[in-house]
Structure 1
Amino acid sequence: MDSARFRALGPALLLCCAGCSGLGVPQATTAQAGQVARAVQPPGKAADDLQSDFQRVIKDVLPSVVQIETESGLGSGVVYDGKGHIVTNAHVVGGGRSFRVTTANSKKPLTASLVFSYPQQDLAVVKLDAVPSGLRAASFGDTSKVQVGQVVLAMGSPLGLSSSVTEGIVSATGRTVSEGGDDGGTGATLANMVQTSAAINPGNSGGALVGLDGRIIGIPTLAATDPELGGGTAPGIGFAIPASTVRTIADQIVRSGRVTDSGRAALGITGRTFVDADFQPAGVVVVEVKDGGAADKAGIGPGDVIVRLGDTDITTITSLTEALAELKPGERTTVTFTHNGGEKTAEVTLGEQ
């Protein structure tokens, strides 16, 4: 995806001094946070109406956004139902099993336990050990109705600052991005992401991206990083897992304690990036094949190098993962691969990850 990279947004370490996060992440100023509002606000009464909309949504939704404390720092979460289930990012919970959760109505942190973490989609559900009175579940919207230019608010605990709100617009929909695995992320490739200009920082992970109708349209998860900024977060480019995906995965976890239907296509292989004689990435070499999987049935075996999936050229394991993220289990496509020095093409029916 050109030179851009993507970094998970939490958990973040607690601030130890004013004006210095110790995280090397540029912080949005008040002026930056107001740019979009100034751009979209008409004069007079319309501006007052927009401000009232902002305040109404914040009052309605912010009580459903919680702060999650792990052994490594802080992240955010969203109250999923009245039974104490909270949805967040898998990279927020990490390898933890128990957590401290601060809700809008709790005077002190509450204890919570992991229900299930699904790193492949970077989602997880934790459950409060005791449900406090007044716990308010969030309302999730219809991702298919999200439009570019739609005004949104991001709510969470960026850099440990609980109950923070920033605003922006939906910049794009349907993005496929891969998060790093060496900076706190899960390394997952995530499809159909919502891109937003709302300022989001480490600690926003697992929080809420909300429309002016008060419905959550996504869970903020990633921020783009720019190599020209020394790997720092690129301002105004963040990504959220769409509400439809959140509901699909969280419903299964709440109901069954695990994910039973991922909806993610798979070839049924273990592979790694293949480097040619010029030390350039040139495909994905198959290391292991799952018995009965899509690749196995198509005659693809260990040592073969996948160079194309459908019409998409494959040069790295990331490009293969991103190509698969655009497809669904059960779809038929072609795989072009090299075998014993010759190139072959096989038709496969994709399995499920």
Structure 2
Amino acid sequence: MDASPTRAPRLSGPAAALVCSLLLVAGCSGAGSGSGSRGERKGDTTRAAAPAAASDLQADYQRVIDDVLPSVVQIQAGDSLGSGVVYDDEGHVVTNAHVVGDSETFRVTTARDEETHAADLVFSYPEQDLAVIRLDRVPDGMRAARLGDSSKVEVGQIVLAMGSPLGLSSSVTQGIVSAVGRTVTEGRGGGGTGATLGNMVQTSAAINPGNSGGALVNLDGQVIGIPTLAATDPGMNGSAAPGIGFAIPASMVRTVADQIVADGRVTDSGRAALGVTARTVVDDGYRPAGAAVVEVSEGGAADRAGLRPGDVIVRLGGTDITTITSLAEALASMEPGDRTRVTYTRDGDERTAEVTLGEQ
């Protein structure tokens, strides 16, 4: 199946249904009798151990849910709904930029009550699909979430996704971390930002419309990511591909949110930039063939390396570049200050240049 990622859209209109994830525990059969008395004891031990292990896991789930749900809110932006995570004790809530959209005022509902609370936009950063809003008043019982260390996230970890899928607030789904370090690009349709996002956490926990901006949580009660994207299957008319969702890692959430809270904007993106404006070009067979440079930022990485308008970038480091999206995805895996090689064509001749990447 060829699945392509798309943002988990903010929810518009009435909710239709909710699919819940249940933990199923299989019992163990008993052992034989007679000379198998030792087997009976072994069977009894097995029968006792399995329910105990399941009970321990269930207790872990319930403990994490009780601990983290007070830090997850529902956000109403106009006639659309999404989720958010309480960032500090001063009423700041971090969410996705595509959740806030063009709105500057919001109504926020907590997990503790059905009362709505007014909030205002602090800053939206579509380039990383993150935004921070601030409540006019901090409701009783609301507490800041604990953000985990993204570098310690491992494939196979059990995670819970908390948010408001389909408008059903305080909902929880469960799964595992399926992969780390993914680079995905949002669509622009339906309110998406079109951002290319690097180092994403892939999860099998269900990510549905309305989950965007919520919390992806480990069993230590730490938020390891902000659910943002769900994959769609082009072979099924763009319907959701089950079990494939993506979350912005907590490290990037902290980097962006800290700047917004302190300065009211993002002053240091941490995103690598080549310093060009480009567009996709096609070959004689109308196949994507590279990213043509339209404009070069003065003093930027490309300018210092000698690139100029009209050059067509065909490779960055070891990655072939066929479209502007592939160029953005290649840059998303790098950091400002990294040195790499740009391969480009000029007047039909292929050339290379060493560049030190700048910051977006």
Structure 2 stretches lacking a partner, 5+ long: 27-48
Q: Check the 8 A contact 2:96/2:212 in 1, yes or no.
A: yes
Structure 1 residues 209, 283: CA separation in 2 closer, same or farther (over 3 Å shift)? same
Cα RMSD (Å): 1.5
Q: Which amino acid aligns with 2:134?
A: K
SS in 1 for 2:344: strand
Find out whether 1:104 has 2:111 as its counterpart.
yes
The counterpart of 1:256, out of the listed 263, 266, 272, is 263
Question: Counterparts of 1:263-278 in structure 2 under 5 Å?
Answer: 263-278=270-285
CA deviation string 1:145-200 (max 9, x = no partner): 11111111000000111110000111111111111111322111111111110111
1:23 alignment counterpart: none
Equivalent residue, structure 2, for 1:228: 235
Q: Which one of the candidate residues 273, 284, 309 is aligned to 2:316? A: 309
Question: Could you say which residue in structure 1 is the equivalent of 2:175?
Answer: 168
Q: CA deviation at 1:4?
A: 2.4
User: Residue 290 of structure 1 aligns with which residue?
Assistant: 297
Q: Percent identity?
A: 68
Contact persistence 2:70–2:141 (CA under 8 A) = no
| Aligned equivalents of 2:303, 2:71: Cα separation in 1 | 46
Matches within 5 A, 1:1-353: 3-15=2-14, 18-19=16-17, 29-30=19-20, 33-34=21-22, 43-353=50-360
**Which residue identity lines up with residue 5 of structure 1 in the other structure?**
S
- What's the TM-score once normalised by structure 2's chain length? 0.91
- Quote the Cα distance in structure 2 between the aligned partners of 1:297 and 1:351: 10
Per-residue deviation, 1:322 = 0.6
Alignment check: 8 A CA contact 2:111 2:169 kept: no
Q: Is the 8 A contact 2:159 2:205 kept in 1?
A: yes
> Shift in Å at residue 103 of structure 1?
1.4
> What displacement does 1:104 show?
2.5
Q: 1:142 to 1:38 in 2, by over 3 A?
A: farther
**Aligned-partner SS, 1:99:** strand
3-state SS of paired residue (1:131): coil
Q: Distance in 2 between matches of 1:38 and 1:161?
A: 27
Is this contact kept in 2: 1:173–1:194, CA < 8 A?
yes
CA distance in 2, matches of 1:158, 1:177: 21
Shift of 1:9: 1.3
Aligned letter for 1:34? L
Residue type of the alignment partner of 2:161: A
* Cα deviation, residue 327, structure 1: 0.7
Write the letter of the residue equivalent to 1:316. T
Aligned counterparts of 1:192 and 1:54: Cα–Cα separation in 2: 26
Distance 1:199 1:107 in 2: 24
Cα distance in 2 between the residues matched to 1:11 and 1:106: 22
Contact 1:106/1:132, CA 8 A, preserved across alignment? no
Q: CA deviation at 1:96?
A: 1.1
CA contact (8 A) 2:186 2:194 kept: yes
Residues 11, 72 of structure 1: 8 Å contact kept: no
What displacement does 1:342 show?
Answer: 1.1
How far, CA to CA, are the matches of 1:221 and 1:38 in structure 2?
Answer: 31
CA-to-aligned-CA distance 1:318-339 (integer Å, 9 cap, x gap): 1100100111111111111111
Secondary structure of the structure 1 residue equivalent to 2:224: strand
SS of 2:151's equivalent in the other structure is helix
Relative distance call for 1:70 and 1:38 in structure 2 (3 A) is: farther
Distance 1:44 1:132 in 2: 39
Q: Counterpart of 2:235 in 1: which secondary structure?
A: helix
- Is the contact between residue 175 and residue 191 of structure 1 (CA under 8 Å) also seen in structure 2? yes
Alpha-carbon separation, structure 1, partners of 2:307 and 2:68 = 50
1:228 offset after TM fit, Å? 1.3
Larger radius of gyration: 2
- State how many pairs are aligned: 338
Name the CA distance, whole Å, in 2 between partners of 1:135 and 1:47: 30
Is there any run of 5+ residues in structure 1 with no aligned partner, and where? 20-26
Question: Deviation of residue 106 (structure 1)?
Answer: 4.5
| Aligned residues of 1:189 and 1:321 also touching (Cα < 8 A) | yes
Distance 1:238 1:172 in 2: 10
Contact 1:309–1:320 (CA under 8 A) maintained in structure 2: yes
Q: d(CA) in 2 for partners of 1:107 and 1:265? A: 42
Q: Secondary structure at the match of 2:159?
A: strand
C-alpha distance in structure 2 between counterparts of 1:4 and 1:70, whole Å: 29
CA distance in 2, matches of 1:319, 1:38: 44
